[in-house]
Chains A and B, each alone.
Chain A
Amino acid sequence: MSDFKEHMLINRLRSIANIVIVGSGKGGVGKSTLTSIIALRLRELGKDVGVLDMDLHGSSIPFILGRSEGKVEVVKGGFKPIEVHGIKVMSLRLFVGDKPAPLRGDRKSEVIKYLLSLTIWGDLNYLLIDLPPGMSDELLTLTKYVKGKHILITIPTRTSMDVLVKYVKLLDNLRCIIPAIVINNLLNIKVNYELISNYMNEIASIINRRPAYVVMPFIDDVEELLAKGLLPDGVIDPIDSIIKYI
């Protein structure tokens, strides 16, 4: 038996110049916020941008960008993403609303294939894919079909950075490219640069290259600003230095 989605998926992604996957093994470190910030900045720079929210259990991208309502529109050939602040957004939230999605492994993989194969992005400069926490179905299915650049995010604590190292090992085994890492100081703690440097050395020894890294400052009102499609001043420089690598 052949899955009709697989050939369609390859066809659909051909119109996208760059695919950027934002991930981290750990939850609550700011993946969706970072994805939204990069998307808004790229849009501000005049790029055509799409965001695929792949967090099936905690879809949040439309919400972060200020759209809590919205349903998927079915058009000839597939699903039309909604547009928020000039960014095309596809999310499971557009299909299920605020209902929980109790999906086991195989079901999750198939949902991801449906979203990848049937979303009509059109020509994009960048498609950003926001991954959920963890290292299982979503990540494995995605990396099987999509060869993009992985931007990783962590918070500057040992527990989070330990998980990040495991995540890097997995991505390296999957032959994924990791151009940059974002250290998100969302806890507003004193950043221990020696600790970060040690972990960066460990990561460099795994991937045989030192990835670029930036520290994103704590921003008090980030949620309110992003919902209005505005970028906090403090993120422009760190994000621009990330965008250089994607």
Chain B
Amino acid sequence: MHEYSIAEGLVLTIKALKDKEGLTKVVEALIYVGSLAQVDREVLLETLRILGPEYGLEGVNYVIKEEESIFQCNYCGYVWPWSEVRMNVIKELCGDIEDCDNPIHLIPDLVNVFVKCPKCSSQDFKILTGYDVKLISIKGERDERL
């Protein structure tokens, strides 16, 4: 369900960039997805393809670049990936439901509320890579006669 909101935000952003750059058509949009956001890639792609035409974005090739989220503890310096703690955290937040709308999925910045450093248990850590969902770039066509 949350993928719909993300897709809507991305489409609005692509449309705004298209207008700003004076493009007649967007042919490709490169999207960055950190693993912490727990985005269902196929659902996101499908929703982008459905929503795009409503905003004048027909035939866009959406390319998703995924990256593992990696954290570093501000107390002890330990570095760990999301995959190291993911199963336990999701179990705690969702119980037996596999992919629930858990708070970290909805707002990845809340990771510090629900995750502790595996080494020293501090909740004060930073996200080194794999943060949030962002639009990296778009490629498009211009009407050269203009």
Q: Measured between C-beta atoms, what is the minimum distance from B44 to chain A in Å?
A: 11
**Which residues of B have CB within 8 Å of A95?**
103, 106-107, 110
How many angstroms between the C-alpha atoms of A110 and B135 in the bound complex?
Answer: 16
- Residue pair B135, A1 in contact (C-beta under 8 Å): yes
Contact among B5, B10, B110, B123 for A78, CB-based, below 8 A: B5
Number of A-B contacts (CB under 8 A): 85
CA distance A59 to B12 in the complex (A): 30
A110→B1 contact, CB < 8 A: no
Q: Are B107 and A2 in contact (CB under 8 A)?
A: no
Known: A102-B112, A102-B123. A8 touches B8 (CB 8 A): yes
B-chain residues with CB within 8 Å of residue A100 when the two chains form the complex: 113, 123
Is residue B94 within 8 Å, beta carbon to beta carbon, of the partner chain? no
Q: Contact flags (1/0) for B1-44 with A, using CB distance below 8 Å?
A: 11011101110110111000000000000001000000000000
Given contacts A111-B110, A114-B107, contact A1 B32 (CB under 8 A): yes
Closest to A120 in B: B5
9 residue pairs from A and B, CB less than 8 Å apart: A1-B134, A2-B13, A4-B135, A95-B110, A99-B114, A100-B113, A103-B112, A111-B107, A118-B5
Extra contacts, 8 of them, besides A1-B135, A104-B124 (Cβ < 8 A), are A2-B13, A4-B6, A8-B8, A75-B1, A79-B106, A100-B123, A104-B126, A108-B109
Interface residues of B (CB under 8 A from A): 1-2, 4-6, 8-10, 12-13, 15-17, 32, 101, 103, 106-107, 109-110, 112-114, 123-124, 126, 132-136
Interface residues of A (CB under 8 A from B): 1-8, 11, 72, 74-79, 95-96, 99-104, 107-108, 110-111, 114-115, 117-118
